[in-house]
Amino acid sequence: MSNEELLMNVSNAIVVGDVEGTLAGGQAALDAGIPAEDILQKGGTHGLDIVGEMFENLEIFMPELLICAEAMKSLLAQMKPHLKAGAGSVADIKVVIGTCFGDMHDMGKNITALEMSLHGYDVIDLGANVSNKEFYRAAEEHQAGIIAMSALMTTSAFYQKDMVEYLIEQGKRDQYYVIMGGGVVTERWVAECGADGYGRMATDAVIVSDMLIKGDAGPGTSTINVFQGSTTRADKGQTLL
């Protein structure tokens, strides 16, 4: 079997959410001497691209995405020991996610949690109506890399700004990337909050997180905005839009 076919087997198993098939395909690819990085990129991520296209065409939906996420997670865990130093995946990054206090809307947050999980992040979903204290405690307890806050209402979005201020007061702003999204959340609001990232759609949150984690800028130094896949970046002090 050619390397292309071996990688295709991995992609196909991801697409149908077959954990055992993914692991078998991953092992076969490793045995054939394909680097783990290539298996993740040309097998796993390629599979996710197909999954994304199928979702866009309404061929699969959130329940199926969940199954694909499990398959992708299994591949990430399998490849982790074989990755070269410095080529780490995001699987080590814990994301604490929730909808802000006083806001019961959970769909956008659920989709974002799922997309991040699908792309390998270790997601701790705190649910809806989450106080800033709960966000902070969970981030500390799990040693999170990212705090992701969703708000559908402007009156709950105020807590997003408070969260950043609270981290500054606690002397912890440089420990956590804070990303924001939700129906009423805009690039302008995120800049005003001093957050690290904004994503309009769930998939945008993944792009933002990838850029933050793989980039050089530490928490609290710049803001990345992603709107439907298009990215802009603003250093602190710059005016957006």
φ, ψ for residue 196 (rounded to 5)? Answer: -90, -25
* CA–CA separation, 186 and 100 (whole Å): 15
Task: Compute the least distance from the CB of residue 112 to another protein, in Å.
Answer: 12
Q: Is 102 in the site for another protein (CB under 8 A)?
A: yes
Among residue numbers 21 through 50, which ones bind another protein (CB under 8 A)?
none
**Contact residue for another protein among 12, 127, 165, 213 (CB under 8 A):** 127
Cβ atoms of 72 and 47 closer than 8 Å: yes
> Is residue 155 part of the contact set for another protein (CB under 8 A)?
yes
CB of 49 to another protein, least distance (A): 16
Q: Which amino acid is at 154?
A: T
| β-bridge pairing 146-150 and 94-99 | parallel
The reply to whether 184 sits near another protein by the rule CB under 8 A is yes
Residues in 134-153 at the binding interface with another protein, rule: CB under 8 A:
153
Shorter beta-carbon distance to another protein: residue 102 or 194: 102
Q: Per-residue x/- marks for another protein, 214-233, CB under 8 A?
A: --------------x-----
Binding status of residue 56 toward another protein by CB under 8 A: yes
Dist CA 181 CA 65 (whole Å): 21
Edge to edge, the sheet with strand 197-199 lists: 122-125, 94-99, 146-150, 177-181, 197-199, 222-227, 230-235
β 122-125/197-199 pair status: unpaired
Binding footprint of another protein on the chain (CB under 8 A): 55-56, 58, 61-63, 66, 100-107, 110-111, 127-129, 153-156, 158-159, 183-186, 201, 228
